[in-house]
A and B are shown apart, each in its own frame.
Chain A
């Protein structure tokens, strides 16, 4: 990549950053972020390696100063919206959580200034990178902490390509629980393996924000109730728009407090091509549809999607696809709601028994909930509500991805959508729907 290419890239990334900030200020307006997905992939690294796209996020802009890439991270409180209706006082970098994705090329020398605008000290640890010990960012071990108001400089050369992360190493529990983290991607000098057409970065995370609260609870050790891709919960997660037959790379990072996430993709199988330790040799790869991303690790998957459509991509832990799921209410599945309602409504007229016939479709009941809370699940889909939330997004495989802004739904060819069976066909196939078992 030459200097001109870099400047171009920087300008673009800066633009994305601004869009990200605008998004943070007007949380209900998701359109700009969604549209950003459909741009033609840009080349940023030698060998035609495409730029990493951070759905709902941004990329750190560089200044080139005497051959050194200079960037600036500001650790700061951030007003963050997980999904319209749920805004929190979080902490992040440069106005967002996760912080901007840092993207560079193997061999680059980078100098990153870190300004601390938090009420307490912080440091930045470059997770997975091998660098001079004094740059590793562990407070007390490698450096003194960056006091509020101070700006530290980190400078090192990126010697190994790969998918890494960055996060504080001072009061980790609080600072990470409040959202301080980001992805760090180093493209190889010479591209390895088949060239990919799309390259996405998704940071998984978990939070505890009880309905009506405004600050994630850093003391939580279980019962996390907001599960996110790039700090967004479905239905606010931006879809990943790709072209049919394109080779796609998704880099997954996990800096959750307590949970690993088995990320499952529909409509394709993939191979794990990298971890934060490096590249997985071809001989060691095997096909998968779920990849477990442990806490503190990155996993890079690559695939070619041949089947067009809107495909679910989500964590397979069922509570991780729920928003602000409560665990304290007694289970009412199967109960006679009418008997309960009659007695309770005499005392609390607004009462209504919920969940007696399961919890599907509950978001449509429209009962008043505490301010600053979002429905446990449910996003708009072409066939009604999508009965999931949290760590859920959609992979949109399209014939012409550049023409899509990600907001439209796949149009199914006639006769390719499951529907009510034709009785004549049932009879012809010898199926008795009234069959009894046991």
Chain B
């Protein structure tokens, strides 16, 4: 594991700080644009190159422009990339996270300010005297001034940690948006297939009605076909509900409500590709770029610095110094003073125990997280490969096999060896194979998003659905010999 150095985090943060200190001066504004820029630079190389980050510019909070861009994106059928773009522009949780980073920025600014000098004015009139004596004093807390660089160091480390966490939230949003988008695509395709299955059941029932009408079919068979139609209708309603759920999940990520939720999706789930999972050294890469680990490292650094601060405070006497002037008889008398508080009883031992423990706890958590990241990566990688090969098996073998079976059933139907019901059942098997393809493809895209997410640096919230184990006989009993 790479030994972490804090230097790489200091630079951008310090830059921001400088900007804040000098530019803001006396009037305070929220340093949103700078925080966004910092997050962007944190994401930097971690950000998978094909993912867009235009939303994360300083212009992001300017409502009007954002709305125009979002509306423009929503006016066309959504793609996964467009959805991510909208989410980055429009998701209020992300904006909240950015403002949370502002809190840390504020803390840095605050910690960088030198202590305030205390000015004292004394006006006395000794008894019996008509003259008024004026005294002027200036007191300055020297300890705070000496400790300022260390306090600022703590605040900087904390901000670095926050910055990593915020960057990770950007990734998290992009990830959740992708998942929600794939879910919408899959549910839309499944709804179409369930509608096809319903039409199939209706065709069987319609045929049964015609045959029963002229006395060629038992009431039993008619009732059986009828029940199949009603079951298929229910499946359509369920699929429709699932699509609505998926749309709403995506709306949450996109930060949309009202008329803006009328977006459409017309792209089908893309074909599988396991090219990414085939690359070498993925585990090491995931560890290297992990923002989860960066955040923990920032917090470890902050704990270290807090510990150092406490140590310094523990032995540094409380120092304050001042100058004092008194005007007497139109003449100023000047003097200086130094006050030393000796830390005899409070040597900050408790605080040092706390910060050290916090440091050790974070270290253990760091190692546990690294282990979990490696395991997740291997799991995601295997899932990407497995779902790719499964999806291709469905697409290139199973689906053509069911189509071939349908063709052969047509021939057997023409030869009067099989009936129209067998024919429609063979057609239904094609639909079911297509359904399996969509399911497998969704699982694949979910796994790929998870893998990309891990390689972009976020482990938190990455989830793979439990593996499905379908029964081999799913609904495709061979219709070869009817006897």
- A residues engaging B (CB < 8 A)? 210-212, 222-223, 324-336, 339-340, 343-344, 346-348, 350-351, 353-355, 367-370, 373, 376
Contacts and interface: CB of A to CB of B under 8 A. Distances in A.
A351 to B, nearest CB: 6
A361 to B, nearest CB: 14
A324 B415 contact: yes
11 contacts: A326-B482, A328-B483, A329-B419, A332-B216, A334-B215, A344-B207, A347-B203, A347-B424, A348-B423, A351-B413, A373-B415
Contacts of A355: 416
B210 interface: yes
Nearest to B428: A347
Interface stretch (B156-164, B252-260, B350-358, B404-412): B404-412
A346 B203 contact: yes
A376 B216 contact: no
Contacts of A325: 416
Contacts of B200: 347
A351 B421 CA distance: 12
A116 to B, nearest CB: 31
Interface residues of B, number: 35
Nearest to B417: A326
B482 A328 contact: yes
A329 B416 contact: yes
Nearest to A222: B483
Contact of B206 (A211, A334, A339, A376): A339
A365 to B, nearest CB: 8
A331 B427 contact: no
Contacts, number: 110
A345 to B, nearest CB: 9
B216 A331 contact: yes
B415 A326 contact: yes
Contacts of B217: 330
Contacts of B202: 343
B482 A211 contact: no
B211 A335 contact: yes
B414 A369 contact: yes
Given A328-B483, A330-B211, A340-B210, A347 B427 contact: yes
Interface of B: 196, 199-200, 202-203, 206-207, 210-211, 213-217, 406, 408, 410-424, 427, 481-483
A347 B419 contact: no
Given A333-B214, A340-B420, 13 more contacts: A211-B415, A223-B483, A324-B415, A326-B482, A327-B482, A330-B420, A334-B215, A336-B214, A347-B203, A348-B410, A354-B414, A355-B416, A376-B415
Contact of B199 (A339, A346, A369, A373): A346
B411 A376 contact: no
A376 B412 CA distance: 12
A348 B214 contact: no
B208 to A, nearest CB: 9
B258 to A, nearest CB: 38
Nearest to A223: B483
Nearest to B481: A210
Contacts of B214: 333-336
Instruction: Determine which residue in B203, B420, B481 has the highest number of CB atoms from chain A within 10 A of its CB, and name it.
Output: B420
Contacts of A348: 406, 410, 423-424, 427
CB-based closest 8 A-B pairs: A328-B482, A334-B214, A329-B419, A343-B203, A326-B417, A326-B416, A367-B414, A211-B415
Instruction: Determine which residue in A223, A348, A369 has the highest number of CB atoms from chain B within 10 A of its CB, and name it.
Output: A348
Contacts of A336: 210, 213-214
A351 B213 CA distance: 21
Contacts of B411: 211-212, 368-370
A373 B417 CA distance: 11
Contact of B420 (A344, A369, A376): A344
Contacts of A328: 417-419, 422, 482-483
B210 A339 contact: yes
Nearest to A210: B417
B408 A370 contact: yes
Given A211-B411, A335-B211, A369-B411, A347 B416 contact: no
Contacts of A329: 413, 416-420
B211 A369 contact: no
A382 to B, nearest CB: 27
Contacts of B414: 354, 367-369
A355 B207 CA distance: 14
B348 to A, nearest CB: 80
B204 to A, nearest CB: 9
A344 B423 contact: yes
A195 to B, nearest CB: 48
Nearest to A343: B203
A369 B422 CA distance: 16
